[in-house]
Each structure stands twice: as structure tokens, then as C-alpha cells.
Chains A and B, each alone.
Chain A
Amino acid sequence: MPEARTAAPLRTADGVPLKTALARAQRRAKWRAAGLVLPLLLFILASFVIPIGQMLFRSVSNDEFSSHMPHMVAWFAENGDAEPDDAAWEALVLDLRQAREDRTIGLIGTRVNYELSGTRSLFTSTARKAEDMEPPYREALLDADEDWADPELWGVMRRASSPYTDAFYLAAVDRTRDATGSVEMVDENRQVYVAIFWRTLVLSVTIALLCLLLGYPIAHLLATLPMRYSNLLMILVLLPFWTSLLVRTTSWMVLLQSQGVVNDVLVWIGIIGEDGRIQMMYNQAGTVIAMTHILLPFMILPLYSVMRTIPPSYARAARSLGATSWTTFRRIYLPQTVPGMGAGILLVFILAVGYYITPALVGGTTGTLISNLIAFHMQESHNWSLAAALAGILLAAVLLLYWLYDRLVGIDNMKLG
């Protein structure tokens, strides 16, 4: 009411403003509530916010070169894009000497090697000789290796001298900077990430839609069957949850491989010949089949929780009003299950986008997803920054989808159970 707003603020009998009194009265309860929430808050902070923050920081952090090559950093700061002069060559030699002494030369070489392959050995071998180098340093260095004159190398070093870089994000989308610093695509035979991002997206959408198609009737059955049957069915739905992921994935391998159960049966009943065995494993088909099965419960449960709350009288009302069973489903039942469908699709999609074990085991080369590449960079190539950049892009994509979902369906309409 506008009248109330223009009036003087309400006061208690003691003359204290009502708002102040209310806040004071509720303070104790608020502190107590905060105390109860605090352990979980700290846990989330320690186990989620800090690691994710560190990962995101690592994806732009660039200190291997910049923290161990102080003279070079100083020179680049002063001279920017200029051609290397005597001071620059001297700074390089001084830093190489120091780095060899500190045993950090490997780190520096590796960092530069990310952007210009073959340079790691250049750094380590030159550093060995740097101790004995005398001015003029340019000639001494070129004497040690011709490659030091390569302007591209100097470009990489210039960019590496800043403590922050976009190089990992560029690499994660198959792009790099040329000698002049402008962004370009990497060579065609080295473009991998965009294609795999795209494949991850397409396969995840496929899996989510397959889960919806398979899960919808099951969820409906669960919601409408009498209790004793629906409980049994619910156990069947949840059983995979209680089985190890590895066991489930390997059982699919037993079923689907070319000498597996499914192919054997097909050959036995004569649908396919002995030499026509279908390749269902170690490709995209394998990934889609196994992951659809594994993620199905995440679709069924939110759908079930929504369907359970829809009384059967709606369908009966629609039928009595003259709607066919198809119209009843389309106009009455389906719209009311949208919150469950949205939640299920979002849940399955987000889980699928980050799935690792199943595609690693059954995906082969054409069925691997972006998470497999992230794992590769964490464990094999030790390029954690690139892994972090890939993960950062994945995170951004999921957040974007979440935002889109909120705009289209409304997150308040989502029901997870």
C-alpha cells in the first residue's frame, strides 16, 4: 500500500524502530542456523570452490617461464615488440645460466615447448653451454644453435614472459598465435579439441534423448503401478546404481564385442553372417549404448517424482470431456511432466558431458569424449594448464546450458525428486 510507505516507520512500544527490533530478536536464531550450516560450507569451500578456483587459475597462469627468467621478463617489459638487441641476448644467457644452476631449465623448456615443439631440448642443451659463453652473446648463442634466431621462438618467449596467458584456451579450441601474435588455426592434422568438444556435445544430447525415450514409459509405469509391483520395478531401476560402474561397463563389453553375446546370438539365428559381425564396441555406438544404460536412472527418478504427483483423475477428466487417449497424453499429461523431463535431460546431459570411465573403456578412438582428453593431459602429457583450460571450457558450456534452461523452462520448475 502506498499510504503505508509514506508514513513514518513503525516503532515498538519502547520507541525502537520495528526493523531494528525484529533483527535483534532474530539474531540468535540466525547465528545458530549459520553455525549448523558452517561445517558443510567449509567442506564445500575446501573440496569444491578452492580446487575449481585453482584449476581455473592454472588455465591462465603462466609462471614457469616468467618466474624463472627474470632478466628476460625485464627486457620484454622494457622493449615490448622490438627486435632482440645485445641486452636481450645477454639477459637470455644470464637467465639460462641461473636456470641451469637452479635446475629449472626443464620447466622453462617444457613451457615454451607447449607452443613451439622441439624447443625443450634447445633450452636444455644451450643452458649446458651457457656457463662458458662470452660476449657477444648473440653469436655465441647462434653458434650453440641456429634456432635462437627464429622470430617465432622470440614471439613465444615474449608471450610466456607475462604471468598470465590465453595460450591454453587458444590451444583448447585448436588455435594458436603466429609470430606476430595474431590468432590462427593450428595445422589441420593437429586439430583435435574442437572436433571432440563437438562430439561430446552431440553424443551427450543423443544419450539424454535416448534416456528420455526409454525412461519415460518406465517412469510412468512406476508411478501408476500398484505399490508392490512398483517397488519391485524401482529396485530393478536402482539395482544398476548399487553395482560398480566398472562392472556395468565391462558387462556391456562382454555383450557387445564382436565375439560377444549379442553378435553370437545374431549369427546363431542367422540374421547376420559370421563375417558380418556388427562392430558395436570401441566406437561411438558402444559409448552411447553403455552410457544410456548407466545414466538411465538419472532420467527415471526425476520423471517418476513428477509423475507420481499427477493424479489419474486428470486423464479421466480429459477422457470424459471427449479427448482421445493420444490427445489426453499430448495436451494433459505431457505438459505436466515437463519439469521432470527438463530436470532429467539436464541431469543426464551434464553427467554425460563429463563422463570418463565408460567412454575410456568402450569408446575406442571414435567414441572418446573430452573428459578422456582432459585425463590424458593430466596423466600422460602433464600439461595441467591445457587440461584446466579444457575443463574450464566444459564448465562454461554447462553453465551456459543451465542459463539457457533457466530462461526457457525456468529453474524453479525443475524437480529432482
Chain B
Amino acid sequence: MANTSAQDAFVEFDHVQKSYDGETLVVKDLQLRIGKGEFLTMLGPSGSGKTTCLMMLAGFETATNGEIYLNRKPINNVAPHKRGIGMVFQNYALFPHMTVAENLAFPLQVRGLSKADQQAKVQRALDMVELSAMGGRRPAQLSGGQQQRVAVARALVFEPDLVLMDEPLGALDKQLREQMQYEIKHIHESLGVTVVYVTHDQSEALTMSDRIAVFNDGRIQQLSTPEALYERPENSFVAQFIGENNRIDGKIREIHGNACAVEIPGGLTVQATHVQGAGAGAPTTLSIRPERVLMSAGDQPVPGAIDGRIEELIYHGDHIRVRMSVAGNPNFVVKVTNRQGHQPLAEGSTVKVGWDPADCRALDPMSA
């Protein structure tokens, strides 16, 4: 993973704020350093400020306060066309009145390259996205996936150090989207460019990124590797937004270093990992991933087991989703792997569920 220490941050947002109407802040005090060659994804629901950040970096929006540095130079007052940043747009924005080759040659023409250089680079870019034979076609004559590749090629053809991608796969169907995720990832690895990628699709973010910045309400909620984000969410929003998550509201009883005891509805006390800064007596929301819940129907011991009633069984082939009522939460989901000899399950029966305290994180209380 790229090094992101202060001195070699390639892109830096320094206390950036953005307001459109002078009354509300869309981006609140953003601090973000992106290393050279890194693939960083801005992930968040719509309206979370991620696209605004990208547009400020591209130069189409100006920061209301704070400074953005590119390669250690402030770029707030640099016009977009002088920033040398490649960009892939949500709907590709391929120029409809030009052929594919003309689209790719456009950034080279405006840079005053010779005709021969242009041709060589366009050809190389077309080869890279495996569309060598399509140079003479109009964008409208290409399929969605092909247009997408042309858009990527166009953003890379003038060899920028930084490429921005604004939900580039949003318009593709699921299968094509997955294929393009790998292609973009491979291009990133082979060229070593820095990529800032915006999406609201968490699986896209998890598979492609070096690091993910989860945006909500104009702030970065958590900035970590995909693995850390999924395994160790730092607040309820991240736990809820990334992957599937079971919640149990409770109150902290005692804290022992990293661990804590939490009282849950029904008067029981369970062990969890203490994450938020709150002390004993504070309300908390426990977060457990469905695949980390242990279940025992009979006498098998489960640590800290509590009772759960099976409400519904949903067959998924490789696994079975079990919806249960646990500690007052009627939507507590457990994934049971469909392997030979797994325990028999029946709707309406009561079983013991439990978890390793390391898998259960006591986060900030979630009101909703």
C-alpha cells in the first residue's frame, strides 16, 4: 500500500469546506492525504459530499475555505484545463460528434502534439482497452461497456498522474460492472497512476481500493483499508453502510482495557470490544456481522450465549439466512454455511446464539 505520510502526499485536502448557499456546509472540514500511485475510493450515500470533493479536485467547484494541494502545489486558483487531471464521468461524456479515435486524440491535440505522436498514443490507448478496431466508430455505435473503456482510455491517453472517476460503472449491468472493476484495477496496477474513485456501491469500493474514505454528512467517517473497514468499523454508520450488520442497543456496564461488558434488553450482559470513547453507563450500539454469529441448537457450548427465536429461513444455495429475534431485535440475521451436517433449523424454534467478543463491537449509539 502506498505511503501516505505528510511529506509525500500527492493530493492533499487541507481543512477544506464547501458551501453552495452560504447556510449549510456540504463538505465539513475535510482532511485527506492521498499517496502517489494509490487507489482511493470515496464511498458514501448520495448527498454525502463525495462528488463535491471530486469536483473541487477537478476544478469544477471552488473550495469555500481551505486549500487543495496537488503535488505540493496549491491548486485552488488553477483552471481545470491546467491541472492535468484525467477524469472519467458517470455517463462517459464521450463527444458524440467525434469518432472514438478523435475523442482520444482530443486531449493530445489541445496539447499541441504532432500528428504522428497523436496517432501512436491513440493506438496504444486503444490497444490497452482492447478496442483497436473501433477507432473509426462513433460513440453511439458502441456498447455501454465499450464506451466505458473508451472513456477510461481518453482519461489516460495524455498520461496524467492523477485520474478521477465519478461513478464510472453506474450505468452498466451487474456482470459487466464486475468485469470492468477488474479491468480498471489492472490498468491502475500496470500504469501506476493515482486514482480517486467515487462510488456509492460498497462492493465496488471493497474490491478495487487501496483505501476507502467513507463519507457521510460532509465528513469522512472512516478512512482505512477495505479489510479494516469491514472488520473494524469505528462507528455505527460505517458498520451499517459497509456490508451486512446486526445491531443490538445496550448500555456499557464495565470497561476492561479493550473489552467491555454491555447490558442488553432482557437484562443480560454480553462481552464486546470497546471502540468508542464513552465510559461506563453510556448507551451503545453493538455491531455483529451475520457470518460471525455462532449458533448452537443443542448442548454445544457457545461463549456468552443468549436465546434467539428463529423467525424465518431463506435458502440461498451456498448459505441459509436465518432471521431471528434476539434481544428485542426482530431482524437479527445469521448466515449458516450450507455444509454437510449443519445443524437442523426450524422456524419457530429457539436456539442459543453467541459470538467471540472480538467480533462484537460496541459503537456509538444509533438512534434510528
Contact = CB atoms under 8 A, between A and B. Distances in A.
Contact of B110 (A313, A316, A323): A323
Interface string B80-114: 11111111011101111100000000110011000
Report whether over half of chain A's contact residues are helix, strand or loop; otherwise say mixed: helix
Interface stretch (A60-68, A79-87, A324-332, A374-382): A324-332
A313 B81 contact: no
B93 A313 contact: yes
A124 B3 CA distance: 110
Contact of B154 (A313, A321, A324, A332): A321
B223 interface: no
B197 interface: no
10 contacts: A314-B95, A317-B87, A317-B95, A319-B60, A321-B87, A321-B154, A321-B158, A322-B82, A322-B110, A336-B96
Nearest to B154: A321
Contact of B158 (A316, A318, A322, A332): A322
A313 B106 contact: no
B249 to A, nearest CB: 43
A270 interface: no
A20 interface: no
A317 B158 CA distance: 13
Interface in A303-356: 311, 313-314, 316-325, 327, 331-332, 335-336
B58 interface: yes
Interface in B192-216: none
Contact of B89 (A316, A322, A325): A316
A321 B109 CA distance: 10
Contacts of A316: 58, 60, 80, 87, 89, 93
A323 B84 CA distance: 10
Given A316-B60, A317-B87, A331-B106, A323 B81 contact: yes
B97 A336 contact: yes
A403 to B, nearest CB: 24
Nearest to A331: B106
Interface residues of B, number: 28
B81 A311 contact: no
Interface of A: 311, 313-314, 316-325, 327, 331-332, 335-336
A311 B92 CA distance: 11
A321 B89 CA distance: 12
Contacts of B59: 319-320
B81 A319 contact: yes
A311 B164 CA distance: 19
Contacts of A325: 81
A321 B107 contact: yes
Contacts of A317: 87, 89, 93-95, 154
Contacts, number: 66
Given A321-B87, A331-B106, 19 more contacts: A311-B93, A313-B89, A313-B90, A313-B91, A316-B58, A316-B60, A316-B87, A317-B87, A317-B93, A317-B95, A320-B83, A320-B85, A321-B154, A321-B155, A321-B158, A323-B106, A327-B110, A332-B95, A336-B97
Contact of A320 (B81, B91, B94): B81
Interface of B: 58-60, 79-87, 89-91, 93-97, 106-107, 110-111, 154-155, 158, 164
A133 to B, nearest CB: 79
A319 B80 contact: yes
A331 B103 CA distance: 11
A332 B94 CA distance: 10
Nearest to B96: A336
Nearest to A336: B97
For the complex of A and B, the 5 pairs showing the least CB-CB separation, nearest first, are A321-B107, A317-B93, A320-B87, A313-B93, A319-B80
A320 B85 CA distance: 6
Contacts of A314: 93, 95
A324 B80 CA distance: 9
A312 to B, nearest CB: 9
Contacts of B155: 320-321
B81 A324 contact: yes
Contact of A322 (B84, B93, B94, B97): B84
A321 B84 CA distance: 7
Contacts of B93: 311, 313-314, 316-317
Contacts of B95: 314, 317-318, 332
Given A316-B60, A336-B97, A322 B91 contact: no
Nearest to B151: A317
Nearest to B87: A320
A327 B164 CA distance: 22
Nearest to B84: A322
A336 B58 CA distance: 24
Instruction: Choose among B91, B97, B154 the residue with the greatest number of A CB atoms under 10 Å from its CB.
Output: B97
Contacts of A332: 95
Nearest to A319: B80
B96 A322 contact: no
A313 B59 CA distance: 13
Contacts of A321: 81, 86-87, 106-107, 110, 154-155, 158
Given A314-B95, A316-B60, A336-B97, A322 B90 contact: no
Instruction: Choose among A311, A318, A322, A331 the residue with the greatest number of B CB atoms under 10 Å from its CB.
Output: A322
Contacts of B58: 316, 320
